[in-house]
Structure 1
């Protein structure tokens, strides 16, 4: 991932500090994963068991105590050099050594009885360790305490998401020119992986290829199923390009579809359009779900739409906010998320159409701009 300028990460910490103060928190504890990358530019692995954290103390707008503009991190001594070299901008470190109580080291920055937001991806081992070391402390998930912080993208972040989406669109344009009939799902998935990398992705997270009755399973993993003439095939693929995600789904058909298959696809495409058009000033996340779901229910397929309509995207391909009933978060300018309704008929076939959209930007100030522009009509492949 090409890093942003140092001031970008400092500004993000300032915004987190201000939002934490407004939420009545004492600070934010950031652990390895996308949050640490977001605030520090340091892509620390989430696989290691040793405890690393970045601490952002709460501070009203305009106040900048140590640890806000100046990053303050607790880190294993053997990884201190890597963090200092990998972070964008200066960082002050508090190092601990194997054999020491790592949670006690972190507790030097915090206080018992405090209220803190902590990264959603924090290990339970460390959350429990902090609870033991800091009795009476209240912990809340980062995305619940600061729901709009990472969800609202800057223009620079949207540009990276758009570039990732363009790479996914280019991969789709090439895959539909290749033969499907007689090949395994796994072969098409391998081709998609290579095409995504060819078009700018450094990481491929998924290449779902779901032929025939496998399409009725929204998360079917490509296997040795041979694709045959007459199959509907759901293609769902994406990953990271320059650190930001792509995620798109198109449904193709091997040869001419039946009337029922074409009808189901038309319904899903109309539902997807309705979901995108539901992004309007004053709309909430659940309004997107309701709009898409209403089209499918009115067509008689309601029981076969079995998942939420969308999810946020950014440094990861799935993140808050979620376009689902009960999610009353207002849609804000700069939010980027998927709109991906589907219909899944058990033992028969599935259909899904998915685009990433950005809300209320300069191109669509009163609605959503699609970051995927590949054809949504049912494509016929050979």
Structure 2
């Protein structure tokens, strides 16, 4: 097959491209230039969005022996990922930009362009598996598994995707990169948001949304216990940096329970007030076989790198509804709810939706 390899400049995408070549595919490498000004994004060997990353990707393509191009997708990335990130926080939600980038950029814009150019599939360095049955599964390396951020993809996108690293641990990927002579073998992983250069999400949002003072209110007493400079700086479940000047009557820590942009209020309370036993999502995607006509048992994950909880999941006219068998804490609107098949392995993705709030 003719395959387009998305090469970020990191070790994972380089090894994924090399494996695609080894499997006999006709591979072309492409690096996505996502920053309007690469110097304003994170610098250093971090694996995404910088000038250094483009150079690392080119060198890896040279070693592998494949053609290499750079595609400028900065405007679309800014519109679909960065602007969406800011708008979601302004609306009191907590977005996951990696989910949006996979959905809107890597497996929409890039895949559409690849197909138009005659490519059969796009290969990436994501740690996930696609079996012969076409079902999306967790990586064998659960610590690096990225099926959660890929669960937003639809069936047509998955049918043209390749994830060669899903059967390997990260240590095995690095060792293979070293054997292949790839200079990125020891390059650090990227953990932060790629378009926030200094890692200061609160400062990034403040620059774009401005100063917006408001009240921090105790859910139990209704009393104002503090002030904030912008409700967008908080997320559900947050404990530190709340700006509370009045100790709780019981002396226990308070957590962010909700964010209300309309009144610019952050509501705080005890940890147990975070418990929820139902979760509702919008824009559902079902990829685990035929779409169910009624409730199904599943294992539900509601945050990246979080654990799963048994639940009954049902698709409705409004989206996806999950009734949890036991409460979970810190469910934040804007994140994804991802349902996995409830078999012993628990690694097959059934579907996903964006948590409403």
TM-score, normalised to structure 1, is: 0.30
Q: Could you say which structure has the higher strand fraction?
A: 2
The higher radius of gyration belongs to 1
The structure with the greater share of residues assigned to helix is 1
The TM-score, its normalising length taken from structure 2, stands at: 0.31
